[in-house]
Structure 1
Amino acid sequence: MGLALVRATLSDWRCAHELEVGFSPAMTVLVGPNASGKTNTVEVLQLLTAGTSFRRPSPADLVRQGCEAGRAELRLEGDGRVVDVACIATVSSRRFTRNGKAVRPSAVPGTLLSVLFTPDDLDLVKGPAKGRRGEVDGFGSQANAGFSRVCRAYARSVEQRNRLLKDPACDLSVLDAWDASVALGGATLLYHRMGLVRRLAPLVQEVYGDIAGGERLEVAYRCTVPGVEEGMGRDAMAAAMAAALAAGRADDLRRGATGVGPHRDDVDFSLEGRPLRTFGSQGQQRTAVLAWKLAQVRFAEERLGERPVLLLDDVMSELDGTRRSAVSSYVDTGIQTVVTTTHLGYFDSETLAGAEVVPYGEHA
């Protein structure tokens, strides 16, 4: 069974003075008008399961106006275990605890995996590549703690190399050392990213086909490092990265930035062999994003042996009946789901009958 959400408690957090929300093991619907605090609750669920927030707030943003500190707590239960995760925010800092002991934000993932779907995610296919890279890295970091460390190490190496490239008195022997660090870190990140996308791709294709009635969607990682190919080992990837950095050194020195590496890569979505970004309708693009999210749920269950929580923030109004039914079908398989909405009419009576409905604002 694994762990599941039981209760979230907010004190002087965002706009809430005191709020406690209990969760159904199946679907919990948070219903109320806009700006009533529903998304704040979903943000807490993501923050205390993934260690990050899709809103990217400063610590001060999390503290209720006029207060010195805010606190968000989450209780998880399952398999005979009880886990309490909390975040305490002040105007200048935030810290996490698990069962009362301080932990780093990077240590929060791994307790309960969450998959978040927001209206902004609907632009994943046609938006900038940075969003697609972040989507892969965010899920990978929850699925494997080592993935998160690899991402951070590579980002630090690129940052240090870029700083050196901008220095008019750049020491080339020091640059050689950072080239080696970026090549090794980049190859490790590529190895993990490409492997994750390769495993997710058939699940995305299957889910998309179920929703869209047989259309063939393909997902592939597009590596921009010359010489790197699918199926390569890390050593071969590192050699290709090193060669690319050497070949591009003059350009990098002129621009003051590292021009090659996984921080420039992308994930391609294609439908029947054509780029979905340019040839797909809005409905097809949205179906692809939904399939991507639901494939993460499938991956967690089938590959990791974990049952994640699915967080849906105000997306039901953005989906048509077919896509809403696809989401509901995953809830019916036993996936714990928390969904926010302004209108219960987006759900059929059968779905609502088995759900916990939590009113916010004027609905409370």
Structure 2
Amino acid sequence: MGLIVNNISLVNFRNFRMLSVDFSQSITILVGHNAVGKTNTIEALQMLTAGYSFRKPTPVQLILEGEKQSKIHAHLTGDGRVIDLSCTISSLRRQYEKNGKKCHATDIPGDLMSVLFTPDDLACIKRSASYRRGEIDDFGKQANKTYAKVLAAYLRSIEQRNRLLKENVVDFSLLNAWDTSVALGGAALLRARLKLFRRLSAKTSEIYKQISGGENLVLRYESSIGEISADQTKEELLDKFLSSLKDAHSIDERRQQTTVGPHRDDIVFLINGKDARMYGSQGQQRSVILALKMAEVLVSEEILGTKPLLLLDDVMSELDKSRREAIMNFTFGDIQTVITTTNLGYFSPDMVDVAKVVSFE
């Protein structure tokens, strides 16, 4: 099975003074009422596998009220390896360690990736483009350490260019210089994002066809700089992006922001040729996101050679029986999965029998 998380311990983390949870190598169900800390446990697992939290909290928000710091620790084994991961959180920073040695958050997913599915994800198609971009970028930050650095560098350059555009009188010689910096970073990000998107989109389409009864799904990347593809070289993408930035000078100056680039791109989901955002039913949209999450699991395994940790945070209550069964059939006995729920009735008796059930009170 590869690496698995055997245990996680939390000290002064969120609402917990102290918590220790042992996990099954297959399925662990965390059951309890709302607001007892089940999602906080999922968050800690994500931080120690992905290197970030889906909630995007400040450090202070991760510390129990009245305390100065918190700590989370996970013990992993598998493939003849033993790995201890920890993160100590103070009011100013988060310090990660791997086997007792300090490391960066981007080093964390190098051994075991995680795929998180939350109720918010089910609205991905209806939400803003930034949410759909973020889905790809968050996965990319786990899949490739360089991806995170390229993304951060690009966003910094966009911030600097936007700051220049907000000045009363724009210095166009300086703007041209920032065009080059933005285009260099943007071309690198586009190339990495498009390659990852191609892998994810192919698998998402295959899975969707299986769980939808044969419907055709196409994922289309819509770039703000015109038609592009993963087959283009970095130089070709650079030239196209730079040209688009120059063409946008007037509108960028008027709007005081950079209006073209990968930070403005979108992903469109087409079901039988129609935009799922406009014409897809709620059930179809949820099946698309379910297929995308399953695709992330498969691509994670391709990248690392080991299955990821699957985290399902209270999604069973949001899915109908057929989609719950699709998830369970996909994960059953093959992928280490941690699920939170308020009701064990969402699961088949067979699953409850084989799962490790942990009660939160």
User: Shared topology, TM-score over 0.5?
Assistant: yes
Q: Which residue of 2 aligns with 1:240?
A: 240
Shift of 1:303: 5.0
Which residue of structure 2 aligns with residue 326 of structure 1?
326
| Contact kept in structure 2, 1:227 and 1:240, CA below 8 Å | no
Aligned to 1:98: 98
In the TM superposition, what is the alpha-carbon distance from 1:332 to its structure 2 partner?
2.2
TM-score by length of 1: 0.96
Matched-pair contact (CA < 8 Å) for 2:111–2:304: no
Stretch moving more, 186-195 or 266-275: 186-195
What letter corresponds to residue 353 of structure 2 in structure 1?
Answer: A
Matches within 5 A, 1:1-364: 1-226=1-226, 228-229=228-229, 231-302=231-302, 304-332=304-332, 334-361=334-361
Equivalent-residue separation in structure 1 for 2:63 and 2:226 (angstroms): 47
Q: Is the 8 A contact 2:113 2:309 kept in 1?
A: yes
Tell me the distance in 1 between the aligned counterparts of 2:227 and 2:119: 37
2:84 counterpart SS class: strand
Q: Distance in 1 between matches of 2:22 and 2:107?
A: 25
On the 8 A contact 1:222/1:267 being kept in 2, the answer is yes
Tell me by how many angstroms 1:169 deviates. Answer: 4.7
**Which AA in structure 2 matches 1:194?**
L
In the alignment, the residues of structure 1 paired with residue 305 and residue 105 of structure 2 have an alpha-carbon distance, to the nearest angstrom, of: 24
1:360: Cα distance to partner? 0.3
Q: Deviations over 1:305-355 (max 9, x none)?
A: 221011000001111111111111122251110000001111111111211
Cα distance in 2 between the residues matched to 1:333 and 1:133: 31
* Gaps in structure 2 of 5+ consecutive residues: none
Which consecutive unaligned segments of at least 5 residues does structure 1 have? none
**Contact preservation (8 Å) 1:6, 1:76:** yes
| Equivalent pair of 2:218/2:269 in contact (CA under 8 Å) | yes
Aligned mates of 1:340, 1:161 — CA distance in 2? 43
Larger CA deviation: 230-239 vs 312-321: 230-239
Q: 208-217 or 95-104: which moved more? A: 95-104
CA distance in 2, matches of 1:270, 1:339: 30
* 298-307 vs 153-162, greater mean Cα deviation: 298-307
Cα distance in 2 between the residues matched to 1:277 and 1:78: 41
- Is 2:143–2:303's contact at 8 Å kept on the other side of the alignment? no
Per the TM alignment, residue 230 of structure 1 is displaced from its structure 2 partner at its CA by 5.2
Q: In the alignment, is the contact (CA less than 8 A) between 1:31 and 1:358 conserved in 2?
A: yes
Shift of residue 126 of structure 1?
1.0
**Take 1:200 and 1:131, find their aligned partners in 2: how far apart are those partners?**
16
Q: CA deviation at 1:302?
A: 3.6
Is the contact between residue 27 and residue 333 of structure 2 (CA under 8 Å) also seen in structure 1?
no
Q: Would you say how many aligned residue pairs link Structure 1 and Structure 2?
A: 361
Deviation at 1:107, TM superposition (A): 2.4
Instruction: Map Cα deviations across residues 209-260 of structure 1 (whole Å, 9 max, x no partner).
Output: 1211111111121111035345322111100001011111122122221110
Tell me, yes or no, if the aligned pair for 2:106 and 2:142 is still in contact at 8 Å. no
Letter in 1 for 2:201: A
Q: Which moved more, 1:162-171 or 1:115-124?
A: 162-171
Q: Which moved more, 1:301-310 or 1:158-167?
A: 301-310
> In 1, distance between residues paired with 2:355 and 2:76?
19
Give 1:201 shift.
1.3
> Are the equivalent residues in 1 in contact too, given 2:112–2:304 (CA < 8 A)?
no
Taking structure 2 as the reference length, what is the TM-score of the superposition? 0.97
1:148-203 per-residue CA deviation (whole Å, 9 max, x = no partner) reads 11111111111111112222354333222211111111111111111111111121
Q: Give the whole-Å Cα distance in 2 for the aligned partners of 1:25 and 1:229.
A: 39
Q: In structure 2, how many angstroms separate the alpha carbons of the residues matched to 1:224 and 1:94? A: 35
Q: Deviations over 1:244-303 (max 9, x none)?
A: 111111221222211100000001101000000111110110011100001111112245
Distance change >3 Å, CA 137–CA 111, structure 1 → 2: same
> Do the aligned partners of residues 49 and 294 (structure 1) sit closer, same or farther apart at CA in structure 2, a change above 3 Å counting?
same
Identity %: 47
Contact 2:194 2:229 (C-alpha < 8 Å) held by counterparts: no
> Does the 8 Å CA contact 1:198/1:220 hold for their aligned counterparts?
no
Seen in structure 2, the aligned counterparts of structure 1 residues 321 and 240 have a Cα distance that, compared at 3 Å, is same
> What is the one-letter code of the residue matched to 2:233?
G
